[in-house]
Structure 1
Amino acid sequence: MTARATYHHGDLKAALVEAAVAAAREGGEAAVGLNRLAAGLGVSASAAYRHFPEGREDLLVAVGDVGRRRLAERLAARIADADADADAEPAPGTATAARRRFRASGRAYVEFVLDEPGLFQVANRHDRGRLPGADPFGVLEACIADLVDTGVLDEDRRTDAAAAAWAAVHGLAVLLTEGPLRRLPPDRRERVLERTLDMVESGL
């Protein structure tokens, strides 16, 4: 099916978002251009702007939504893996399990940024609020709730705990992708990640 036929069937918006996500994965925010992507799909810029009235920013927000959804899915998958690990004892619902889930979420966050730096860059810079299914912060808040429910974290220390934990792993992820820590060899990077998770867990 040609791009123009796709547009006539009402799928141009989805095609543009798909193309923009691919561009972001390759080159980050700078690689996402509405006119260029429209031309690549064989449609006019005016046709593309009908789906994204505010132009490039609208498209970047749509790409950011995809990135945040994929990040949330990565966090949820790693948490599920931690729960399903045959060697992970004791079972979910205990303090140890809550700690394990919390650490899994932090590790998954950093790993996602390392795997998808371009897409993450757009997701981090362009959004218009939290969306169901595209809310990695909500996944982290659920982990904090687990810590409270199992007695690891006092209720009176819950406020802003998720934000503080988020800031720590986000800062590390950015340093590993855009800052001086990007030069660390893999084994050192792993040690720094574990040390950061240790400090966040102890700090909470």
Structure 2
Amino acid sequence: MAARTTYHHGDLKAALVAAAVAAARDGGEAAVGLNRLAAGLGVSASAAYRHFPEGLEDLLVAVGDVARRRLAERLASRISEVAPSRDAATDARRRFRASGRAYVEYVLEEPGLFQVANRHDRGRLPETDPFGVLEDCIADLVRAGVLEEVRRPDAATAAWAAVHGLAVLLTEGPLRRLPPERRERAVERTLDMVEAGL
């Protein structure tokens, strides 16, 4: 009976999502179990499933939404920190690069959440959409005259693919063993190539 004292009242769905986010941060997708989390909150599995009718997948999608929202917030925060200069083109380039660095930074800090965000997504939501932040950066480059409008289609997709690929290599692939200074060089070189390609 003591186990049931963990959770008394309130929003069970939000409590389950928060517990799942914490579990994913520690161990990625494999650490998220609906029955286990329900038990940890002192509620029955059936009570948990009432909030997530499709079971674990519903919960993982909710965790993915949280992860994507946090990633979008990280990108927006780093972009806002770019000090303005007197040159619009320079500023647009700096904001674009800041978004790329922030992406890799987030992935390195939150590999478990990143994993869930990538594998469990039922569609783009404006409030949880880091891709929308990148598209704004691309639009910024066009307005500043850095990128021609004719080259704008799919520019965000290409930039996303490059930075995302690097992030995966640094967390799950052979580049995960790079020392910090080489990792930083890899990030900057990738951004150099993406910027030049745009």
Match of 1:30 in 2: 30
Q: 1:164 aligns with which of 146, 158, 162?
A: 158
Is residue 190 of structure 1 aligned with residue 184 of structure 2? yes
Deviation, 1:5, is: 1.8
Q: Which runs of 5+ in 2 are unaligned?
A: none
Given that residues 72 and 133 in structure 2 are in contact (C-alpha distance below 8 angstroms), is that contact kept between their aligned partners in structure 1?
yes
Q: Which runs of 5+ in 1 are unaligned?
A: none
Match of 1:17 in 2: 17
Match of 1:119 in 2: 113
The CA distance in 1 between the partners of 2:51 and 2:176, in whole Å, is 37
Match of 1:77 in 2: 77
Match of 1:134 in 2: 128
Superposition misfits of 4+ residues, deviation over 4 angstroms = none
Match of 2:173 in 1: 179
Q: 1:155 aligns with which of 144, 149, 153?
A: 149
RMSD in angstroms over aligned alpha carbons?
Answer: 1.2
Given that residues 25 and 118 in structure 1 are in contact (C-alpha distance below 8 angstroms), is that contact kept between their aligned partners in structure 2?
yes
SS at match of 2:53: coil
Deviations 1:35-90 (A, max 9, x none): 010011000000000000000000000000000000000000000001xx3xx523
Given that residues 3 and 12 in structure 1 are in contact (C-alpha distance below 8 angstroms), is that contact kept between their aligned partners in structure 2?
no
Match of 2:8 in 1: 5
Percent of aligned positions that are identical: 82
Letter in 1 for 2:31: A
Deviation, 1:4, is: 3.8
The CA distance in 2 between the partners of 1:112 and 1:4, in whole Å, is 31
